Structure 1
Amino acid sequence: MTITKLLVANRGEIASRIMRTARECDIAPVAVFSDADAGAPFVADADEAVHLPGNAPSDTYLRAEAIIDAARRTGADAIHPGYGFLSENAEFARACAAAGITFVGPSPQAIESMGSKIRAKELMAAAGVPVLPGITLDSDTEVDADDFAARVTAEIGYPLLVKASYGGGGRGMRVVRDPSELFDAVTGARREAQAAFGNPAVFLERFVDAPRHVEVQIFGDTHGTVVHLFERECSIQRRYQKIIEEAPSPAVDDALRTRLGEAAVAAGKAIGYVGAGTVEFVLGQDGRFYFLEVNTRLQVEHPVTELVTGLDLVRLQLQVADGLPLPDEALTATVSGHAVEARLYAEDVGAGFLPATGSLARFDVPPMKGVRVDSGVADGSEVGVHYDPMLAKVIAHGPTRDAACRRLARALHETRVHGVVTNRELLVGILREPEFRSGAIDTGYLDRHDPAQLARTAPEVVRLHALAAALAGQAERRATAPVLASAPSGWRNVPNGPQVAKLSYEDDEIEVRYRIAGRIVEAEVGAEVLGEVVLHAASESLVDLTVDGVRRAVRVQRVGDVFYADSSLGATTLTELPRFPDPQSRTAPGSLLAPMPGTVVRVAVDTGAAVAHGTPVVVLEAMKMEHSVTAPHDGTVTELNVAIGQTVETGAVLAVVEEAP
């Protein structure tokens, strides 16, 4: 290769993953990093790193001139944009060429042709690829509510999908089923698209109910060859973002695979595609498919294709960027076995997938045969509000789909993530759910299966873990006691009174009452009296006990007043409650609290306004997603404590709505 030093213009797990292949190719990796990412693992993975002062993407990873300057300063002769950020920015690709730096990606013309979804659809229709009807709204297009609604009804019909014209990842995406919802959906999508991609243009198209989301990996070289590397199933989504992907699709047989592949290659040839790209389709229940878009970059889910084909897609990207033809193994690739990927996010499933922040006290995915982990975090990493909340991708490969699903479920089940709320339990729940395991899935899967129920921890598990947390807390206090340090944990000179610990789990308060007599524990958790409990060992980090004849070890980690309990039954996060709460800590009835750290992008009401239950009061933006905080009941807004542009922390009182009599 002629590339000797590669700057990765991205962050997190994808930056580390690209650097791994670069090293294998004897290419020196260079990182760029923001203030918040100064201690991130990907920075340590690089040979050299350049600081981009600031945290907002527009100040750091979206600053093309700063990234090109970093390449010049370090002597990098190529830039890999990863995905997101500048990966589909034609002007950035041109700027790289003007600076004499190789852009590891398609040509600016190809990016540009696919950057406009309306132009992309015109090209695809001309190439014979099936398309859906749609309308695009450029950044300067004014929308008149009545006239526009009439046009949409005539040209598209309902239901329809509104999404950002420039970018992907579900940003700015809304489903509209009735004309009355159209104007607000378009306005909100434009605002979100501007925040995520710097361009408020949006695209509207017919929405196919309950389709599968199937995409085809394509690869082109500078010698005119375009091939496909089979399909991926990406139907398991939340908020229009994929969370579980697999290859191959369980719905695609050999005949359909051939048709999808031919359509994808035709799409690639129509735009003279070079490098790695993905042609996305919606696949209807009747087996007909329609073009969605071409992602002119590497995809988040590329590892499943790598595992079933044995190819390193980043290596192929670097070879093609160097002007080499696609190697024989890419031209003659076959599918071996099945691969499934799960995206592990810092988010609160029960609160509607709100992004979560915090410091990771522990991040541990146990090594297992057939399991790959692409991680952007480690113990001690900070998860902030500035970037996407994905922590890692966990990918399993097996001889069959069932084997791959089982491996991935077990790996996630044994994963320990402490310090932030995650979607781990949801991922495990999906992977073990019968309908998913049968392959009968579509993009409406999580509409039929309540995510909160899939992620639910059984009450008996919570009780066991609450007892273990109480015993671990007791053992910790005993170990640090300044007097009578030799006394056993739980010993009391008044044995008739039980010890009491108060914990909270989600929205529930749990009282644990226990009395230890030698190895026997009399325990009551909540209203449940546990059966015979034998305590084999108790320390601040491990509680080994038998309940009703079944022995289990519970690993416990305490961070502040939070206990993280992990056992063979799963994981539970419990918070120790103070015995004497501070009266000043109570909030007024009707207080609307910030569910996450974020920035206020909209204040929908004025002080004194009458509002109905569910009316949006304040809209917050965090991690490039918007969240509406709504009125908890009919009433009057008596306090409004925030303004547009203000940054708030979790739990801040945004407003107070006094309930109507």
Structure 2
Amino acid sequence: MAIKVLVANRAEIACRIFQTCREMGLKTIGVFTPEDRHARHIAYADEVYQIPSYLDIDAIIQIASQARAKLIHPGYGFLSERSQFVDAIEKQGFIFIGPTSVTMKQMGDKIFAKEIAKQVKIPIIPGVKVLLRNDLKLITKKLGFPLLIKAAAGGGGKGMRIVRDIKDLELAAENATKEAQAFFGDGTIFIEKYIENPRHIEIQVFGDGRGNGVHLYERECSLQRRHQKIWEEALAPNLNTKIKENLRHAAIKLVQKVKYRNAGAVEFLIDKDENFYFLEMNTRLQVEHPVTELITGVDLVHAQLSQALNGKSFFFKQGIPLPRGHAIGVRLYAEDPYREFMPTPGKIEILKWPQGTGIRVDSGIEEGQRLGTQFDSLLAKLVVYAENRDRALERMKFALKDTVILGIGTNQNYLKNLCDHPKVEQGKVYTNFLETEFVEFLNKHSDMKKDFSRVILANYPSPWVDRSETVSYREKTVTSNTIRHKQTTENPPHTSELEVQFPGKVRKILVKKGDYVQRGEVLLLVEAMKMEFAIKAPYSATIKELFTKEGQQINIGDRYLNFELVQ
């Protein structure tokens, strides 16, 4: 009887895993929710079953039993880093494709993970867990400014605040605690020294679960929006050999220390003086794994499956292959970069992927598909490979130019512009680059009227609409509205309403009627396309009235609340 693998995920990563399973002669089991009944990944699996949610552990275990699966692959996101999921899988006798639940729990706790790194003499950013609010001033004396406040229980920029002056510390800590509690159910925060303009480098690792580990080199992941990566490349450019060796050695020490099993990634920050610091460990296959596959020739999903089935991977017999060439990957999202990366759900009217030597597309969408707000806005990963970085960048420019996605808004033109920035061409970027130098570059060079990715906004009336524009392709015509640049009000009115800019669901309301809020303070958390969006106060004011409640579905044009300015 053929071995069956259940993939507890959806879209492009599910399609990606199914492909390798098929090549290995393994039967595949897919799952889908009611909202995903027409999703592309369903057609890729040998068997498919409906579940209430991709977070429903009991339902997934039940399907695995019913379909007689042997292994379960979590993909990334959803349950991929939940130790309870691993426990439930192994309790029922299935094989989890990933690390043990103990390792996952240890490395998922950012504070505990740093302690482990410290034990094996890996540099960490100086930081302190905040137990009492009275500790704040003592912490600042110890660490100095600037400081970074972070949520202990999660990542993705949630609960994160940069503080440069002691007068802002208490309010920043209070808001970070409130936001961390809302997002992760745990308001614990820690404060660490803030590193200005660091590079974000990660090492791909693989362990056998018995204390042996290998690395598959590094990836440059510094280009990020809202603390989420949108561009990755391998190998990292402009990084000297000694630092690369030190990073790889540090990552292996961590793998050996925790007896890590299967694929993972160890992440580091590098400051302007080329000192490196442990950031965190991701205990799963990374979204950005294709760039590593292209420079090594290794199918990481194949390696994962082999290790899970046989107890070890070929790495431990043959060693790691030498890297060759250069790979760059970008992430295409259904979002509007010019409106703070708001999600842009809708119907994909026209879809054409680029083709050619050295171009790879990992996608979970198809033409005619309608995207809602329930899931992540990632459409596809566009990855290119060439003999060197300059050729790879040329190939990426071609691939982006040759991609056609109409009917929804995307970040395609944003990525095109990114390719043209001199510092991106030189490989001299850092984690805050998109919010600083690239914003200035866009304001000078971006031709907003040619941004066809904004077609989705044609469906919605908006006070920002300037004129309409028609795009034709393959005998189809789609009309879009050209959007003006975001405007701010220097002298807001005495009262003002905060309107909904994208459809979604109100997850948490952090204020109440009568509260005085500071400009930039988080008022509500809204879930859309599997991302949490913090709705912030546009200026300092008093909350006059709330028009929404937690759990409510909202649409463009609805009102969140209104303000009354203090005169």
* TM-score, length-scaled by structure 2: 0.87
* Residues 335-385 of structure 1 deviation map (CA, whole Å, 9 limit, x = unaligned): 110001101111121111222222222232222221111112112323222
Q: Is 1:88–1:167's contact at 8 Å kept on the other side of the alignment?
A: no
Q: Is 1:603–1:643's contact at 8 Å kept on the other side of the alignment?
A: no
Opposite residue 559 of structure 2, the aligned amino acid is V
Which segment is superposed worse, 452-461 or 228-237? 452-461
Matched, 1:161 2:68: no
Matched, 1:417 2:412: no
Which segment is superposed worse, 187-196 or 81-90? 187-196
Q: Is 1:159–1:178's contact at 8 Å kept on the other side of the alignment?
A: yes
1:389 and 1:123 map into 2 onto residues whose CA distance is: 34
1:613 and 1:230 map into 2 onto residues whose CA distance is: 43
1:113 and 1:612 map into 2 onto residues whose CA distance is: 37
The equivalent of 1:510 in structure 2 is 467
The equivalent of 1:63 in structure 2 is 56
Task: After TM superposition, give the deviation of residue 100 of structure 1 in Å.
Answer: 0.5
The equivalent of 1:23 in structure 2 is 22
The equivalent of 2:488 in structure 1 is none
Alignment of 1:492-641 (within 5 A): 507-510=464-467, 542=472, 557-559=476-478, 562-563=479-480, 574=482, 590-600=496-506, 601-602=508-509, 604=511, 606=513, 619-622=525-528, 623-631=530-538, 640-641=546-547
For the residue of structure 2 that corresponds to 1:335, the secondary structure is coil
User: Does the C-alpha gap of structure 1 residues 263 and 555 become closer, same or farther in structure 2, counting only changes over 3 Å?
Assistant: same
User: Does the C-alpha gap of structure 1 residues 178 and 354 become closer, same or farther in structure 2, counting only changes over 3 Å?
Assistant: farther
Task: After TM superposition, give the deviation of residue 446 of structure 1 in Å.
Answer: 1.3
Q: Is 1:371–1:395's contact at 8 Å kept on the other side of the alignment?
A: yes
Q: Is 1:133–1:155's contact at 8 Å kept on the other side of the alignment?
A: no
User: Does the C-alpha gap of structure 1 residues 637 and 160 become closer, same or farther in structure 2, counting only changes over 3 Å?
Assistant: closer
User: Does the C-alpha gap of structure 1 residues 196 and 104 become closer, same or farther in structure 2, counting only changes over 3 Å?
Assistant: farther
2:418 and 2:468 map into 1 onto residues whose CA distance is: 31
Matched, 1:125 2:118: yes
Task: After TM superposition, give the deviation of residue 620 of structure 1 in Å.
Answer: 3.4
Opposite residue 643 of structure 1, the aligned amino acid is K
1:310 and 1:506 map into 2 onto residues whose CA distance is: 51
Task: After TM superposition, give the deviation of residue 452 of structure 1 in Å.
Answer: 7.8
For the residue of structure 2 that corresponds to 1:119, the secondary structure is helix
Q: Of 261, 270, 294, which aligns to 1:307?
A: 294
Structure 1: stretches of 5+ with no match in the other structure:
54-59, 138-142, 470-502, 513-539, 543-553, 564-572, 576-587
Task: After TM superposition, give the deviation of residue 16 of structure 1 in Å.
Answer: 1.1
User: Does the C-alpha gap of structure 1 residues 636 and 429 become closer, same or farther in structure 2, counting only changes over 3 Å?
Assistant: same
2:180 and 2:522 map into 1 onto residues whose CA distance is: 20
Q: Of 351, 363, 372, which aligns to 1:363?
A: 351
For the residue of structure 2 that corresponds to 1:235, the secondary structure is coil
* Residues 453-483 of structure 1 deviation map (CA, whole Å, 9 limit, x = unaligned): 5386427758xx9xxx9xxxxxxxxxxxxxx
1:597 and 1:353 map into 2 onto residues whose CA distance is: 14
Matched, 1:240 2:227: yes
* Residues 207-264 of structure 1 deviation map (CA, whole Å, 9 limit, x = unaligned): 2111100010111124543111100000001111111010000022322221111111
The equivalent of 1:567 in structure 2 is none
Q: Is 2:498–2:562's contact at 8 Å kept on the other side of the alignment?
A: yes
The equivalent of 1:49 in structure 2 is 48
User: Does the C-alpha gap of structure 1 residues 316 and 505 become closer, same or farther in structure 2, counting only changes over 3 Å?
Assistant: same
Task: After TM superposition, give the deviation of residue 413 of structure 1 in Å.
Answer: 2.0
Task: After TM superposition, give the deviation of residue 94 of structure 1 in Å.
Answer: 1.8
Structure showing greater radius of gyration is 1
Identity %: 37
Q: Is 1:117–1:136's contact at 8 Å kept on the other side of the alignment?
A: no
1:442 and 1:315 map into 2 onto residues whose CA distance is: 32
Opposite residue 405 of structure 2, the aligned amino acid is V
* C-alpha RMSD of the superposition: 3.2
For the residue of structure 1 that corresponds to 2:399, the secondary structure is helix
Q: Is 1:210–1:443's contact at 8 Å kept on the other side of the alignment?
A: yes
Task: After TM superposition, give the deviation of residue 114 of structure 1 in Å.
Answer: 0.7
User: Does the C-alpha gap of structure 1 residues 222 and 380 become closer, same or farther in structure 2, counting only changes over 3 Å?
Assistant: same
Q: Of 55, 76, 81, which aligns to 1:83?
A: 76
User: Does the C-alpha gap of structure 1 residues 353 and 186 become closer, same or farther in structure 2, counting only changes over 3 Å?
Assistant: farther
Opposite residue 107 of structure 1, the aligned amino acid is T
Q: Is 1:426–1:451's contact at 8 Å kept on the other side of the alignment?
A: no
Q: Is 2:2–2:26's contact at 8 Å kept on the other side of the alignment?
A: yes
Aligned length: 547
Matched, 1:231 2:226: no
2:374 and 2:447 map into 1 onto residues whose CA distance is: 34
Q: Of 447, 455, 458, which aligns to 1:458?
A: 447
User: Does the C-alpha gap of structure 1 residues 195 and 606 become closer, same or farther in structure 2, counting only changes over 3 Å?
Assistant: closer
2:81 and 2:54 map into 1 onto residues whose CA distance is: 13
Task: After TM superposition, give the deviation of residue 655 of structure 1 in Å.
Answer: 3.3
For the residue of structure 1 that corresponds to 2:221, the secondary structure is strand
Task: After TM superposition, give the deviation of residue 429 of structure 1 in Å.
Answer: 0.8
2:49 and 2:61 map into 1 onto residues whose CA distance is: 11
Q: Is 1:195–1:624's contact at 8 Å kept on the other side of the alignment?
A: no
The equivalent of 2:420 in structure 1 is 432
Opposite residue 101 of structure 2, the aligned amino acid is P
Q: Is 1:618–1:630's contact at 8 Å kept on the other side of the alignment?
A: no
Matched, 1:447 2:435: yes
2:210 and 2:510 map into 1 onto residues whose CA distance is: 54
Alignment of 1:373-412 (within 5 A): 373-412=361-400
Q: Is 1:3–1:78's contact at 8 Å kept on the other side of the alignment?
A: no
Matched, 1:349 2:306: no
Opposite residue 33 of structure 1, the aligned amino acid is F
* Residues 499-558 of structure 1 deviation map (CA, whole Å, 9 limit, x = unaligned): xxxx9999352389xxxxxxxxxxxxxxxxxxxxxxxxxxx975xxxxxxxxxxx76744
* Residues 104-133 of structure 1 deviation map (CA, whole Å, 9 limit, x = unaligned): 001122112212222211111111211112
1:15 and 1:270 map into 2 onto residues whose CA distance is: 31
Structure 2: stretches of 5+ with no match in the other structure:
484-493
Opposite residue 501 of structure 2, the aligned amino acid is P
Task: After TM superposition, give the deviation of residue 200 of structure 1 in Å.
Answer: 4.9
The equivalent of 1:487 in structure 2 is none
2:249 and 2:288 map into 1 onto residues whose CA distance is: 21
Opposite residue 554 of structure 2, the aligned amino acid is V
Q: Is 1:409–1:428's contact at 8 Å kept on the other side of the alignment?
A: yes
1:190 and 1:384 map into 2 onto residues whose CA distance is: 31
2:356 and 2:462 map into 1 onto residues whose CA distance is: 31
Matched, 1:92 2:102: no
User: Does the C-alpha gap of structure 1 residues 186 and 276 become closer, same or farther in structure 2, counting only changes over 3 Å?
Assistant: farther
Which segment is superposed worse, 62-71 or 220-229? 220-229
Opposite residue 648 of structure 1, the aligned amino acid is I
Opposite residue 373 of structure 1, the aligned amino acid is V
Task: After TM superposition, give the deviation of residue 43 of structure 1 in Å.
Answer: 1.8
Q: Is 2:152–2:189's contact at 8 Å kept on the other side of the alignment?
A: yes
User: Does the C-alpha gap of structure 1 residues 307 and 449 become closer, same or farther in structure 2, counting only changes over 3 Å?
Assistant: same
Matched, 1:212 2:199: yes
Q: Is 1:236–1:443's contact at 8 Å kept on the other side of the alignment?
A: yes
The equivalent of 2:274 in structure 1 is 287
User: Does the C-alpha gap of structure 1 residues 44 and 205 become closer, same or farther in structure 2, counting only changes over 3 Å?
Assistant: farther
User: Does the C-alpha gap of structure 1 residues 173 and 241 become closer, same or farther in structure 2, counting only changes over 3 Å?
Assistant: farther
Task: After TM superposition, give the deviation of residue 305 of structure 1 in Å.
Answer: 0.3
